């Protein structure tokens, strides 16, 4: 956390939380199907994605000190500098398919990445009325978001010790692929819980699940905020080979990951 002192951490996470709340209100007001279209990669985008994007971009532009921003909706124009500096990574609506289908499992993800590592994250679930946030090395917390945009007092959260028998493992509701399925088949005593968006990281961070594997490549903005929150809550997120994940590559892509609530369990299972 060398790039920010404690006072800056506190101010920045409060500002990013307020920006996330404004984006959540914009999503709540948007029609689920208005102006929906498919992007070149086949994924959907809606007026809600665009409203959240515009709200977040305007808020980030007012931050002092300023930070460059890279978001899913403008990834082709917002490219990493490659100099190891700090950048804000944004997914304005993670789980657009769930949003369009009328499910509650979609989130707004905002992360600060410094020297290739997530150091601060805010994840807001507009339909669930919940916010998770954390600063690596300084703890994580959960808050409630009311229909009027007011935020409750925070509750400190922490990962749990892995149970001796059933390992509660979160998986993607819509993106699970063969390699991840094969990996799950090799784990003993596992309860698999499908879930959309970055909520999977949040459930581990708050101690209601233990593990989340994804062994296929994904984009930085899908993972960075959850990574920061989970690590702040006592867990870890590592590359499939056990190494460190590095964010901010020119492709803005990571090779997959293994998220754990108890780091010692990761070391034990992976040998």
Average pLDDT over residues 93-109: 93
Average pLDDT over residues 61-77: 84
Distance CA 133, CA 95 (A): 18
CB hemisphere CA count around 143 (13 angstroms): 20
Q: What is the pTM of this model?
A: 0.93
Residue 32 has pLDDT above 80, yes or no: no
Q: What is the CA radius of gyration of the chain?
A: 17
Distance (Å, whole) CA 192 – CA 196: 13
CATH number of 167-270: 3.40.190.80
In contact, 243 and 236? CB cutoff 8 Å: no
Instruction: Examine the pLDDT at 43 and tell me if it is beyond 50.
Output: yes
Q: Which of 5-9, 44-48, 69-73, 210-214 has the highest mean pLDDT?
A: 210-214
| Topology match between the domains 6-157 and 167-270 | no
Q: Identify the band that residue 58 occupies on the pLDDT scale cut at 50, 70 and 90.
A: very high
State yes or no: pLDDT of 143 exceeds 70.
yes
Which of 128, 105, 125, 126 lies closest to 229, judged by CA? 125
pLDDT tens digits, one per residue of 199-226: 999 999 999 999 999 999 999 999 999 9
Please give the average per-residue pLDDT across 40-62, as a whole number: 89
pLDDT at 188: 87
State the burial class of residue 185 (Cβ atoms within 10 Å of its Cβ: 0-12, 13-18, 19+). Answer: exposed
User: Using an 8 Å Cβ cutoff, are 121 and 232 in contact?
Assistant: yes
* Lowest pLDDT segment from 72-86, 231-245, 254-268: 72-86
pLDDT of residue 39: 73
Mean pLDDT confidence for 91-99: 93
Helices 47-61 and 6-29 sit at what angle, rounded to 10 degrees? 150
Residue 5 — pLDDT band, cuts 50, 70, 90? low
Which is more confident, 177 or 160?
A: 160
- As its CATH architecture, domain 6-157 has 2-Layer Sandwich (3.30)
Domain ranges, ordered by start, for the chain: 6-157, 167-270
Laid out side by side, the sheet with 211-214 consists of 190-195, 167-172, 211-214, 257-260, 236-238
Whether residue 58 contacts residue 50, with contact meaning beta carbons closer than 8 Å, is answered with no
Mean pLDDT of 42-57: 90
Distances from the Cα of 261 to the Cα of 126, 141, 149, 235, angstroms: 24, 15, 30, 4
Instruction: For 109, list phi and psi in degrees, rounded to 5.
Output: -115, 125
pLDDT at 79 over 70: no
Average pLDDT over residues 136-159: 96
How much is the average pLDDT of 5-10?
74
Q: Which residues lie below 8 Å from residue 7, measured CB to CB, with a gap of 6+?
A: none
Asked if pLDDT for residue 1 goes beyond 50, the answer is no
Mean pLDDT lowest among 61-70, 195-204, 223-232: 61-70
The half-sphere exposure of 93 on its side-chain side, counting CA atoms within 13 A, is 31
pLDDT averaged over every residue in the chain: 90
């Amino acid at each position: 956390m060398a790039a920010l002192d404690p006072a800056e951490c506190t101010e920045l996470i409060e500002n990013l939380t307020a920006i996330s709340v404004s984006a959540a209100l914009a999503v709540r007001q948007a029609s689920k199907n208005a102006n929906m279209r498919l992007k070149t990669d086949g994924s959907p985008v809606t007026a809600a994605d665009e409203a959240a994007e515009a709200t977040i971009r305007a808020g980030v532009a007012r931050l002092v000190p300023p930070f460059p921003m890279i978001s899913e909706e403008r990834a082709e124009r917002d490219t990493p500098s490659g100099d190891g500096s700090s950048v804000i990574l944004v997914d304005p609506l993670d789980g657009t398919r769930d949003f369009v289908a009328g499910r509650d499992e979609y989130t707004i993800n905002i992360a600060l990445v410094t020297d290739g590592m997530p150091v601060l994250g805010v994840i807001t679930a507009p339909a669930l009325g919940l916010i998770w946030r954390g600063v690596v090395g300084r703890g994580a917390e959960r808050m409630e978001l009311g229909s009027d945009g007011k935020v409750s007092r925070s509750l400190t959260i922490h990962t749990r010790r892995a149970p001796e028998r059933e390992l509660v493992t979160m998986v993607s509701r819509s993106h699970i692929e063969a390699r991840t399925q094969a990996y799950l088949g090799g784990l003993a005593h596992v309860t698999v819980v499908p879930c959309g968006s970055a909520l999977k990281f949040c459930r581990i961070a708050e101690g209601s699940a233990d593990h989340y594997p994804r062994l296929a490549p994904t984009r930085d903005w899908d993972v960075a905020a959850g990574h920061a929150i989970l690590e702040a809550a006592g867990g870890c997120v590592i590359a499939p080979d056990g190494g460190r994940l590095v964010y901010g590559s020119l492709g803005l892509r990571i090779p997959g990951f293994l998220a754990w609530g108890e780091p010692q369990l990761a070391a034990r299972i992976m040998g």
